[in-house]
Structure 1
Amino acid sequence: MSFQTILSNFALILFVLMIGTGIIWFLDVFHLSKKRRQAADLALAAWDARQEKLRAEGIQPDENGREALKEKLLKQPIWIEYSGSFFPVIAVVFFLRSFMYEPFKIPSSSMLPTLEIGDLILVNKYTYGIRLPIINKKAISINDPQRGDMVVFKYPRDPSLDYIKRVIGVGGDKVVYRNKQLTVNGEIAQYQPMPDYLDTERLSYSRQFLEKIGPMEHRILNDDNAPSYVPNPDPFLHRSMCSYNTDGFACTVPQGYYFMMGDNRDNSLDSRYWGFVPDDYIVGKAFFVWMNLGNVKRIGSVN
């Protein structure tokens, strides 16, 4: 089972654990603890009566056992003690992960040079609105993804998987990518050459550019040996809104959908191949690398 699959099920696992430990915690606070108290009061009353009887018979009773008996009778069973300890921790983690920030691990090189394999990133879950946990249904809308945002979303081919790409087009946009040059709504991207990028995983160099179109500015990679055309795109929903030829493609993004592309343009399986991402599949906006075990210098904000 992959790391991302585990993360995909982690929300459900947390939810089940929270509900289970929460039920036990509430049951203990409002019922079981009272029963233990009642049983302890009866047992201590019987203890006191026996002690009083011994005194009446002229026998000096042992007074040291009462507190030990009380502690034993009031002590929570192990299963209740552990549930009570875990419940608030699990509840806080579930709340933070569901409504605030969620961690993800970058599994591929499709977002090079911005994100590297092994980057552990944080995703802002509330930037685009409040979504119900588990089902990922938007309950409160706040903002919409903007061109240039790096977004985590459910993979349209398999919603149990999470992908991360950059938003290139929003609903109504016309996205054209021909001969490895991007145009959005008729505005042609400007490309500033940068030093070649060394991919340490593949031990190969790629051409690196600073791509700028409108307010959108970020680094991309191009492979001179890769073709400009898109081989074998899927018959995805709204496929008729795209046209493909040997130079590239052109797509008009349907309303309520987004067109995603990886920064590693010639090594990214993205909307060019499997189509548009519906708003319901959006998870959140990536904004910070909090750890990379292979390179701690990676820690910091991302664009």
Structure 2
Amino acid sequence: MTILQWFIFFLVLQVVHYLGTWKLYEKAGRKSWEAAIPVYNAIVLMKIINRPTWWTALLFVPIVNLIMFIIVWVETLRSFGKNSTKDTILGVATLGFYIYYINYFENVEYKRDRSLVATSKSGDTISSLLFAIIVATLVHGYVLQPFNIPTSSLEKSLLVGDFLFVSKFHYGARTPKTAIALPMVHDSIPFIKTKSYLNFPQLPSFRFPGLQAIKRNDIVVFNWPADTVYMFRDPSGRHIDKPLDKRSNYVKRCQGIPGDNLSIKNGDVYINNKRLILPERAKPQYSYTIITDGSNLDAKYIIEDLQITDGIYPTGPNKYVFAAVTEDAAKKLKQIPAIKSIVRNNSTEPDHRLFPHNQNWSQDNYGPIYIPEAGKTVALNKESLPFYRRLITVYEGNKLEEKGGQIYINDKPVVNYTFQQDYYWMMGDNRHNSEDSRYWGFVPFDHVVGKPVFIWFSLDPNLPWSQALDKIRWNRLFCTVGGDGQPTSYFKYFLILLVGWFGFDFFRKRKKA
């Protein structure tokens, strides 16, 4: 829906509200016209139902307002003496239109000084639960979102089984595009695995100012631009077009920012012809070909000490491919007497699965490629169009056609194009086992979700729950994701603070008693 369509829809809602409540406004001692003025009518309604004025703001927060509408319907009915379970069910089941019946066909009396305390334990529980959901939805949508690492593309920095908190405010929180969805649920409902949202209507979305810009080497959570999968890693292969904010959440390391010229040479990333230096915590991994003398390798040492857990594949007599090995681990492998040679694999064969699918580039030798920057103009021609077609049409909403060797945008002939937003280049540290920008291209800024800041829990997926104490990665609990130096667990400090708080609370209550 366009902004004009939303404005018309908003006005229609005001008319619906006025027609269903104007008599009730009069019975509450207000003027009937007050029910017709947008926003002001909601402020007056809060006074009628004896609720704080700031509730009005919650009516305009997407997803949260779905819960607030239910609360306001019920509170309106109770303000006019409709307190029974039957009235509550009718108010909710009819999406508030039961209030029309009360407005026109029942001679109700306004309860000016009604008690705001729930008259039953179940009512009190439901009220508390609804407001807990509202608070949690606001935090989830605009402050911090929990996130689980599903793949090994950032192995060593972030592990499969890590549970993170992702900051929405570092890069600026987005308002939702999807207007009707379950709160705190992404694209599918847990356990029953059905869609958690409606595609229509879609809201115009904007981003609040952020604390910082995305920098090279930042780990970023974003909505996967190429996502049309029904559910993440769905084995059935079902596909569906998803709204932007309901596309699968990916986490990668930003290797290129707007305005960069990026290339990959023998597996190393270069920005503007200078090799990109990764932070200390980043541990890039590559696949290696190993040739042994026929002796058995010490699997325990390789898996537990060298932490090579992402695949060892025999490819011939005494020949193996180790799928994900850091440079430090490769040096230690060379010292094993049974290993005769170890060579890092460097792909040079053209791979047309790689973006933009028409270059003779490989996974380890790629580019150069320009990363678009908002406000910057590029020439459009037969050679450059494959790089920018999706940006111009899908991400920036233009009509693009080619006629007689001429490029047309929105029915006008063009020879260049000016980008409307910034784009980024996201890659995994596990370079030979990461589906990233090399395969599907640029990440628009409006797809950025947030910045991972904290690992609050971590489980080793390779161990059974019968080994629960070993399954929990204790050294990763309460670790920061970014920062200098190696990750440090702050779990013991959390426990000290927790014990201190309970001790303080115990003695405070004892002293008060």
- TM-score tier, shorter chain, comes to 0.5 to 0.7
The 8 Å contact of residues 108 and 117 in structure 1, kept in 2 or not, is answered as yes
Structure with the bigger RCO (C-alpha within 8 Å, sep 6+) is 1
State which of 81, 100, 104 in structure 2 corresponds to 1:35: 81
Distance in 1, Cα, partners of 2:69 & 2:218: 40
Q: CA deviation at 1:34?
A: 5.3
Query: What aligned pairs does 1:101-112 form with structure 2 within 5 A after superposition?
Result: 101-112=144-155
What is the deviation of 1:25? 2.9
Q: What CA distance in whole angstroms lies between the structure 2 residues aligned with 1:180 and 1:147?
A: 17
Q: Larger deviation: 87-96 or 289-298?
A: 289-298
Paired residue type of 1:253: I
State the Cα distance separating 1:188 from its structure 2 match.
Answer: 1.8
Distance in 1 between the 2:174 and 2:261 partners? 28
Asked if the contact 1:197–1:208 (Cα under 8 Å) also holds between the matched residues in 2, the reply is: no
TM-score, length of structure 2 as denominator length: 0.41
Tell me how far apart the structure 1 counterparts of residues 364 and 474 of structure 2 sit (CA, whole Å): 40
Structure 2 CA distance for partners of 1:167 and 1:228, relative to 1, 3 Å: farther
2:348 touches 2:361 (CA, 8 Å); kept in 1?
no
Secondary structure of the structure 1 residue equivalent to 2:438: helix
Assess, with a 3 A threshold, how the Cα gap between structure 1 residues 190 and 282 changes in structure 2: closer, same or farther. closer
> Does residue 1:202 correspond to 2:311, yes or no?
yes
Could you tell me which runs of 5 or more consecutive residues in structure 2 were left unpaired when the two chains were aligned: 1-61, 84-117, 179-203, 228-243, 284-301, 313-321, 329-342, 374-421, 461-472, 483-513
Unmatched segments (≥5 aa) in structure 1? 1-14, 38-73, 211-222
1:232 is aligned to 352
2:420 maps to 1:254 = no
Q: Secondary structure at the match of 1:163?
A: strand
Conservation of the 8 A alpha-carbon contact between 1:21 and 1:86: no
Alignment of 1:176-187 (within 5 A): 176-187=263-274
Letter in 2 for 1:177: I
**CA-to-aligned-CA distance 1:8-43 (integer Å, 9 cap, x gap):** xxxxxxx65x44543343344444155168xxxxxx
1:132 equivalenced with 2:175 (yes/no): yes
Distance 1:131 1:114, change over 3 A: same
CA contact (8 A) 1:171 1:253 kept: yes
Percentage of identical aligned residues: 29
The aligned counterpart of 1:175 is: 262
- Residue 75 of structure 1 aligns with which residue? 119
Alpha-carbon spacing, 1:246–1:102, altered in 2? closer, same or farther (3 Å): closer
CA contact (8 A) 1:229 1:248 kept: no
After superposition, the Cα gap between the structure-2 partners of 1:243 and 1:169, relative to the gap in structure 1 and judged at 3 Å, is: farther
Q: Secondary structure at the match of 1:139?
A: coil
Q: What stretches of structure 1 move > 6 A for 4+ residues in a row?
A: 191-196
Q: Which amino acid aligns with 1:182?
A: V
Rounded Cα–Cα distance in structure 2 between residues aligned with 1:130 and 1:228: 41
For 1:59-81, what per-residue CA distance to the aligned partner results, in whole angstroms no more than 9, with x for missing partners? Answer: xxxxxxxxxxxxxxx83494x44
CA deviation profile, 1:117-175 (whole Å, cap 9, x unmatched): 01111111011113103459333232321111100111111151111101111111011
Whole-Å Cα distance in 2 between the matches of residues 246 and 200 of structure 1? 22
Task: Tell me the residue number matched to 1:289.
Answer: 455
State the AA in 2 paired with 1:181.
Answer: D
Decide whether aligned partners of structure 1 residues 228 and 301 sit closer, same or farther in structure 2, where only a CA change above 3 A counts.
farther
Query: Contact conserved, 1:198 with 1:206, CA < 8 A, in 2?
Result: no
Q: Residues 7-18 of structure 1 correspond to what in structure 2 (within 5 A)?
A: 18=64
SS of 1:97's partner is: helix
Q: Does 1:146 align with 2:263?
A: no
Distance in structure 1 (CA, Å) of the matches to 2:147 and 2:134: 20
Give me the whole-angstrom Cα distance separating, in 1, the residues matched to 2:177 and 2:476.
30
| Distance in 2, Cα, partners of 1:182 & 1:126 | 29
Q: Which has the larger strand fraction?
A: 1
Contact 1:24 1:84 (C-alpha < 8 Å) held by counterparts: no
How does the TM-score come out when normalised to structure 1? 0.67
Q: After TM superposition, give the deviation of residue 197 of structure 1 in Å.
A: 4.6
Cα offset, 1:86, TM superposition: 1.3
Cα RMSD over matched residues? 3.5
